[in-house]
Amino acid sequence: MKKKTIILTAAAAILAASAAFGMTWLQKPKETAATPKFGEYQNPVFEPVFADPSVIKGEDGYYYAYGTEDDWGDGHGPHVVPILRSKNLVDWKFHRDAFEVKPGWKEGGGGLWAPDISKHKDGKYYMYYSVSIWGDPNPAIGVATADSPGGPFTDQGQLFTSDSIGVDNSIDPQFFQDDDGKSYLFWGSFHGIYGIELSADGLKTVGEKFQVADTQYEAPYVIKRDGKYYFFGSAGSCCDGENSTYHVNVGRSDSIKEPFKDAKGVSLLQGGGTTVLAFNEKKGKNGKQFVGPGHNAIVTDAAGKDWILYHAIDADDPRLLNGATRRPLLIDAITWEKGWPTVKGKEPGNGPAPAPAVK
């Protein structure tokens, strides 16, 4: 019995020592309410800034996101249409800038804003983009192409200017191809949202423009679902730091050229719009409070669920070092209710949430 007593005594000593150190060698790391678990994510999904996002999935299995030209304060200088890459829509890494040489065809120059990415029938990737500065009297829209979504992109020059198309502040383009194969470009910023048909090669406009929403909107994004056309547009101020009032409204139509109407039947040409996404009234479990959400894109995950990507502003950290509004990248799930899209709480997710499905 003496040998057994010695073993038990040693075991007791080990347990006592472990208790004294909190048994840290046996315990798992303590989780908090804000600790993401497997298959979860938290907003923002990319910082410091990634405004006006557009996204596409490449044949290599990666998602590629494109954002407005900005200086991230990383010593690089302005990123001329930065491209991010991700396997799962929430873990993004910088890939490259879209252009090796900034397009210089616009008189007076300007920043490259609000790129929109799409893949065309010829297998090439087309990126429509805005060229403008604040207060620009003649903003313009150009187009560039690449053989792969990761670029680099080759500029194809001007599609139109505000003067040539007859719409003030012509920025924020979005390419849309209908089921009949016809292609359209939607665009506009607080001077009406318009659409126009594009040529087969996507490099020219065809026919007359048509208006689909009024002067409260910019950043149009049109999708088709179950035979209906849905218009997502941003209203309010995008870039006033913590005081920004940006938010996303939606309208629906039976035809690509008809005015869109909100859930109450009010035309978006007459002040209509059903809110999909607005600001957080309170901080979330991750301590974040986001304001000014908007300028969205829509993407579908591997399970067929739709997600809205957009920029927003952290109310506690609203500015870049140069004073510009800091607009990181966020993503949230879309729920369809009786034929209308919405986001949970109609506000940015600011706590742990289930991540998009991936293969």
Instruction: Give the pLDDT score at 21.
Output: 32
Residue 10 belongs to some domain of the structure: no
3-state secondary structure at position 12: helix
- State how many domains the chain has: 1
Q: 259 pLDDT band (50/70/90 cuts)?
A: confident
Instruction: Give the pLDDT score at 37.
Output: 52
Instruction: Give the pLDDT score at 38.
Output: 55
Q: Sign of dihedral through CA atoms 270, 275, 278, 282?
A: positive
Q: What is the dihedral of CA 238, 239, 244, 248, to 10 degrees?
A: 10
Active-site pick, 52, 97, 197, 332: 52
Q: What percent of the chain has pLDDT over 90?
A: 86
Structure confidence by residue, pLDDT tens digits, 145-189: 999 999 999 999 999 999 999 999 999 999 999 999 999 999 999
Q: Report d(CA 356, CA 353) in Å as an integer.
A: 9
Query: What's the pTM?
Result: 0.89
Overall average pLDDT of the 71-89 stretch: 95
Q: Report d(CA 37, CA 344) in Å as an integer.
A: 20
Residue with tokens 């200088």: 77
Residue 36 belongs to some domain of the structure: no
* Average per-residue pLDDT for the chain: 90
Q: What percent of the chain has pLDDT over 70?
A: 89
Structure confidence by residue, pLDDT tens digits, 282-294: 999 899 999 999 9
Contacts of 169 (CB under 8 A, 6+ apart): 132, 136, 139, 162, 188, 189, 190, 191
- Lowest model confidence (mean pLDDT) among 12-21, 70-79, 150-159: 12-21
Residue 21 belongs to some domain of the structure: no
Active site annotation includes 52: yes
As separate numbers, helices (DSSP H) first and strands (DSSP E) second, the chain gives 2, 24
Residue 142 belongs to some domain of the structure: yes
Active site annotation includes 59: no
DSSP string of 156-224, one letter each residue: EEEEEEHHHHT-TT----EEEE-TTS-EEEEE-BSS-EEEEEE-TTSSSEEEEEEEEE-TT-EEEEEEE
Structure confidence by residue, pLDDT tens digits, 201-218: 999 999 999 999 999 999
Active-site pick, 97, 218, 301, 314: 218
Q: 359 pLDDT band (50/70/90 cuts)?
A: confident
- Count, residues in the chain: 359
CB atoms within 10 A of CB 342: 18
Overall average pLDDT of the 182-200 stretch: 98
More reliable by pLDDT, 326 or 322: 326
Instruction: Give the pLDDT score at 45.
Output: 98
Range of the domain at 342: 49-353
Residue 120 belongs to some domain of the structure: yes
Residue 3 belongs to some domain of the structure: no
Question: Taking the CA of residue 137 as centre, how many other CA atoms within 13 Å lie in the half-sphere pointing to its CB?
Answer: 2
Residue 31 belongs to some domain of the structure: no
Q: Above 80 in pLDDT, residue 316?
A: yes
Structure confidence by residue, pLDDT tens digits, 120-145: 999 999 999 999 999 999 999 999 99
CATH number of the domain at 118, please. Answer: 2.115.10.20
DSSP 8-state assignment for residue 227: T
Q: Report d(CA 340, CA 263) in Å as an integer.
A: 8
Residue 349 belongs to some domain of the structure: yes
Instruction: Give the pLDDT score at 322.
Output: 87
- Lowest model confidence (mean pLDDT) among 11-15, 114-118, 156-160, 303-307: 11-15
Q: Report d(CA 43, CA 311) in Å as an integer.
A: 10
Q: Above 70 in pLDDT, residue 10?
A: no
Q: Report d(CA 219, CA 237) in Å as an integer.
A: 12
